[in-house]
């Protein structure tokens, strides 16, 4: 089977194809796949034509850069890398997130107590306290919906964060 490369080139440069890409309502990935296939076919045909004409494959392209060019590329690459790091949003460490969550839970408890006092709700059994294990907090904050959400992984994560995996926190303990 002989493929007519001139026909393929005409097809790729056909104004109707360009209009189709712009106006057709087909999904974008379909259009991209179609164009990608045409371009790949054109590249393969170019290689076949070169081999037919010269009896061998093309020589690999060998890029030789001067020292100045290498230094320039290194500087540009470094600057781009630095800019990307600059644009990334900084976040707290996982340990800070756990500590801030506990602090937030204590603040919510304090606000709840203020509200109950405002509403004249009496505590017949003392001030309500809530007990959480560090394992439970770490698991819910950092490992839920991951493949590392089990007890062994969670205790190991606690150890990595410098948190006692068997310790617990009592919310409302300091309030009287």
Tens-digit pLDDT profile for residues 65-107: 788 888 888 888 888 887 777 767 677 889 999 999 999 999 9
Which residue do the tokens 């080139």 mark? Answer: 9
- Residue 5 pLDDT: 64
Show contacts of 41-50: CB within 8 Å, 24+ apart.
41/8, 42/5, 42/8, 42/9, 42/12, 45/3, 45/5, 45/8, 46/5, 49/5
Q: What is the DSSP string of 122-136?
A: --TTSS--EEEEHHH
Name, in order, each residue with C-beta under 8 angstroms of 38's C-beta and a sequence gap of 6 or more.
8, 11, 12
> Which residues are 171's β-sheet partners?
130
pTM of the model: 0.49
Task: Compare 30 and 1 and report the one with higher pLDDT.
Answer: 30
**pLDDT, tens digit, for every residue of 97-108?**
999 999 999 999
pLDDT mean over 16-41: 73
């Amino acid at each position: 089977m002989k493929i007519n490369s001139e026909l393929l080139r005409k097809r790729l440069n056909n104004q109707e194809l360009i209009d189709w890409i712009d106006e057709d309502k087909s999904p974008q990935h379909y259009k991209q796949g179609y164009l990608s296939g045409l371009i790949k076919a054109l590249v393969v045909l170019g290689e076949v034509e070169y081999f037919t004409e010269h009896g061998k494959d093309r020589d690999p392209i060998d890029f030789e850069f001067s020292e100045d060019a290498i230094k320039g590329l290194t500087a540009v690459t470094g600057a781009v890398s630095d800019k990307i790091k600059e644009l990334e949003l900084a976040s707290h460490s996982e340990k800070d997130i756990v500590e801030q969550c506990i602090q937030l839970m204590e603040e919510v408890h304090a606000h709840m107590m203020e509200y109950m006092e405002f509403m004249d709700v009496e505590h017949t059994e003392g001030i309500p306290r809530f007990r959480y294990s560090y394992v439970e907090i770490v698991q819910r904050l950092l490992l839920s919906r991951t493949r590392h959400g089990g007890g062994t992984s969670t205790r190991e994560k606690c150890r990595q964060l410098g948190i006692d995996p068997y310790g617990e926190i009592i919310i409302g303990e300091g309030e009287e």
